[in-house]
Chain A
Amino acid sequence: MQNRNLSALILIIVVTGLALAVNFAPNNNFLGRDVSVRLGLDLQGGIQVLLRSADPNATPEQIATAAGVIEQRVNALGVGETVVQRAGNDRIIVELPGVANPEQAIETLRGTGRLEFIDSQGQYLADGAIVRTSSSPNPPQLLESGTVTDVNSLGPIYQSITDGADLDTSAVQPTFSQGGALGSRPAVSFAFRGESARRLATFTAANVGRPMCIVLDNVVVSCPVINAALTDGSGVIEVTTEAERNQIFNKLKYGALPVPLVIETSRTVTATLGQESVAASIVAGIIGLSVVAIFMILFYRGPGLIATIALLIYTAISFAIYRLIPVTLTLPGIAGFILSIGLAVDANVLIFARLREEYRRGRDIRNALELGFVESWPAIRDSSVSTLITSIVLFMFGNSFGVSLIKGFALTLGLGIVISLFTAVIVTRTFLRVVLPLFSDERAWWFGVDRRETAPAATAAS
């Protein structure tokens, strides 16, 4: 008995110590692992989008390639905990926390990155104009605006000179153009291979002095005049600003997407709103925890105090686990945690109610305590399992879609059930056993028990 208490006590101290070490790790670094609290997009601000292939016949391989390209582009942005993951057969989830202009960033990421040179028949097309090219005659930008009855009404189809697939991505580099009428300007260098390089050389050789348009994803970037033949298929794209240069560079550097993508669902939250939510949750959490603690102590006295300590240990362990796994905390996730405080106390309420009952039936305190735990266990077990089932169902439901809100709630609630089984049963029991020698009939009040007779209870005891 004493040994069992001792080893349980050591276990509790070790676990609590570890939890505190994780929670208060210097620089959020615990044994070389980053244990900072991850905040979801709704709390730190950012964007989440669900991208879908614009082409319904896209193969899973093409989507996988597209996800890979997007992931490289995301990494190049250099923002913290980003997410790029495939959802189902034809969707990709992208999450970007804390970027300044999230919609613009997404626009760059999902750009197909198909660089084309087109024969504009000697015209200067306006920058930013959407054009039809022979390799992409029906750009989604044109098709969506209104109902298109006659595709011929969309405008002329320009002959593509190069094919985006022939772009040599290793030659794509940010640079500055040399001299020229406008002086040094930001630019991106590029090089085409194979057939595209040969066609570009032939076309530029035959059209020196005439304009040729550079088109990226069916949008005209610029229409420079051909000064000399581009014999090796390489050149530079000049733009006005560095921001524009970086966007084009990011689209081209990691290759073109095999399929164009559209934004099916998007959620943006500003950092301001996120910080307000964090502040509100902390206030709600502290108030909720305090009220529960006060209630437990007033109602159950000594055991209530022990339950409160167990609850604090529960909170410490929960946050340590959130940091270790790591669990990304969202607003519903925090609600799930605060709700689980109530559930964690429930097990203790069950046990203490039973303890009081057994003591009133005339058992001595030690027996009443052990019976309280033994007899309330089936109810604690069954109710925990049913809540666990619900959280698993919720988690699966949230997993199959972009509804990651629900996942956060399910995860913290489910983890809360498991952790509370440890704290509400093992921690409370060990602490109660440890303080048991202090019990005497005169001190019964401190233990929240009394011998007041309850008539109906006696019959069921037999």
Chain B
Amino acid sequence: MEHLVRRRYWWFAFSLLVILPGLYMLFLHPLITTGRFAIGLRPSIDFAGGALWELRFPDTTPESLTTDRIAQAFAAGGFEGAQVQLSPTTVDGRPVAAALVRTRPLSESDPNSEIEAVMKALTDAFGTVTRERLESVGPTVSAESTRSAVIAVLGASLVILLYLTWAFRKAPHPVRYGVCALISMLHDVLVVLGIAAILGVAIGLEVDALFLTALLTTLSFSVHDTIVVFDRIRENLLNRHPAETFDDIVNHSLVQTLPRSINTQLTTFFTLTALLLFGGDTIRNFVLMLLIGLISGTYSSIFNAAQLLVVWEHREWRNWFGRGRRGEAAQAV
């Protein structure tokens, strides 16, 4: 346990190991596959506009339902290029064929005749079809949502940074705490975004308003955890023993807060896992992202934020390049 601080570059390396593939999927993958620069996230209708239909097909067996047949029915109803995802479900213990279909948004002035046309085409092809959910978002609204999403993330980060600097005003170098907390927050944002980009390619995960909520909650959890650790460092610094080095104090504070970090992590982990397993399909992706953000937040508060304080204390970046680096690496092991 005395080695938490001494091994700091191992912890940073592990963070990079998680973040780099995500960064690749976020920025390089779209560039390589499409040749254009884009963010490798799949925006949902909340941010890209469009319509989402959740349909159930009680007259059709799940096996005989194919995405092509559904897309054809949508095309016959006037919606070309529908993206269909099968999502079989169980109702009263029996399997029921179901699908999520994404199309262009509904007409603004006369949506009902469009809905009727699609439902008629679907009924002709599959018998009874029930429409459980239908959401349509126009292009103006989605553009505004995207803009204010960015504002919300930046605004929340800024206010939290200011609060942290204020809360640690009595500790030596209060700005350091704010900046280190912010870097570990950025770490969590990159982890969550990166995993979302990977899952976007792997399972078609979409970034929607709820995803943004998960991201912002991750920010607050990350800061929450970082504050608990920093608070202990601040306290131990004020009661500093003459023989203690800064490294000792940080290591010490980490060991002292470790039971709390693990226990809090576990209780929240339990509640979120319960939600993930039993909370239903609608919020599954949301809870998954919360869970990833939560784990990342706890990790970064212990293994990044506090360790960065040590890096800063020694101004170790002077050794990162050139000859000093070898000595540092040896010391780190």
By a beta-carbon cutoff of 8 Å, the part of chain A in contact with chain B is 42, 50, 52, 54, 103-104, 107, 140-141, 143-145, 262-270, 272-273, 276-277, 280-281, 283-285, 287-289, 291-292, 295-296, 299, 331-332, 335, 338-339, 341-343, 345-346, 349-350, 353, 357, 375, 378-379, 382-383, 385-387, 389-391, 393-394, 396-397, 400-403, 405-406, 409-410, 413, 456-457, 459-462
Contacts and interface: CB of A to CB of B under 8 A. Distances in A.
Label chain B's interface by main secondary structure.
helix
**Leading 4 A-B pairs by shortest Cβ distance:** A342-B268, A390-B220, A280-B280, A288-B271
Interface in B11-27: none
A292 B270 contact: yes
Interface stretch (B59-67, B233-241, B322-330): B233-241
Given A273-B54, A346-B264, 7 more contacts: A263-B109, A281-B280, A335-B279, A345-B267, A390-B220, A402-B141, A460-B236
A349 B265 CA distance: 10
Contacts of A396: 152
A406 B260 contact: no
A460 B241 CA distance: 7
A343 B252 contact: no
Given A269-B133, A335-B287, A389-B156, A349 B263 contact: yes
Contact of A460 (B152, B231, B239, B264): B239
Contacts of A52: 108, 138, 140
B112 A338 contact: no
Contact of A280 (B241, B263, B279): B279
B159 interface: yes
Given A272-B132, A345-B264, A382 B138 contact: no
Contact of A273 (B110, B133, B257, B287): B133
A292 B236 CA distance: 31
B232 A266 contact: no
Contacts of A285: 274
**A331, A385, A386, A394 interface centre (most CB from chain B within 10 Å):** A386
Contacts of A288: 270-272, 274-275
A282 to B, nearest CB: 9
A410 B209 CA distance: 12
Contacts of B272: 288, 338-339, 342
30 contacts: A103-B112, A141-B110, A263-B111, A265-B141, A266-B106, A273-B54, A273-B132, A281-B280, A284-B274, A287-B278, A331-B282, A342-B270, A350-B264, A353-B257, A353-B259, A378-B231, A383-B225, A385-B163, A385-B167, A387-B221, A390-B219, A393-B155, A394-B156, A396-B152, A397-B149, A405-B209, A406-B210, A409-B210, A460-B239, A460-B256
**B91, B111, B252, B274 interface centre (most CB from chain A within 10 Å):** B274
Contacts of A383: 223-225, 227-228
B69 interface: no
A277 B286 CA distance: 14
Contact of B224 (A262, A269, A284, A387): A387
Interface in B128-178: 130-138, 140-141, 144-145, 148-149, 151-152, 155-156, 159-160, 163-164, 167
A277 B111 CA distance: 27
Nearest to A268: B134
Contacts of A267: 133-136
A21 to B, nearest CB: 27
A345 B255 CA distance: 20
A375 B257 CA distance: 13
**A296, A350, A375 interface centre (most CB from chain B within 10 Å):** A350
Contacts of B270: 288, 291-292, 295, 342
B132 A386 contact: no
A459 B244 contact: yes
A141 to B, nearest CB: 5
B283 A332 contact: yes
B216 interface: yes
A406 B220 CA distance: 15
B125 interface: no
Given A267-B135, A272-B132, A413-B217, A292 B112 contact: no
Contact of B220 (A350, A389, A462): A389
Contact of B109 (A262, A331, A462): A262
Nearest to A345: B267
Contact of B106 (A263, A296, A339): A263
Given A353-B263, A456-B252, A460-B239, A335 B283 contact: yes
A401 B279 contact: no
B290 interface: yes
A289 B271 CA distance: 7
Contacts of B223: 383, 386
Contact of A270 (B133, B148, B220): B133
A335 B286 contact: yes
B282 A42 contact: yes
Contacts of A141: 109-110
B231 A379 contact: yes
B282 A277 contact: yes
Given A287-B274, A393-B216, A265 B137 contact: yes
A462 B151 CA distance: 46
A73 B54 CA distance: 29
B224 A281 contact: no
**A143, A273, A385, A390 interface centre (most CB from chain B within 10 Å):** A390
Given A144-B107, A288-B274, A393-B152, A386 B160 contact: yes
Contacts of A410: 213
B301 to A, nearest CB: 11
Contacts of A403: 46, 145, 209
A61 to B, nearest CB: 22
A296 B267 contact: yes
B186 interface: no
Contacts of A289: 271
A343 B290 CA distance: 14
B167 A382 contact: yes
Interface string B76-110: 00000000000000010000000000000011111
B205 interface: no
Given A265-B138, A401-B148, A386 B209 contact: no
B7 to A, nearest CB: 17
A31 to B, nearest CB: 33
Contacts of A375: 235
B274 A140 contact: no
Interface string B195-221: 000000000000001101100110111
A22 to B, nearest CB: 24
B278 A280 contact: yes
Contacts of A280: 278-280
A292 B224 CA distance: 19
Contacts of B138: 50, 52, 264-265
B212 A406 contact: yes
Contacts of A357: 256
Nearest to A409: B213
A357 B111 CA distance: 64
Contacts of B210: 332, 405-406, 409
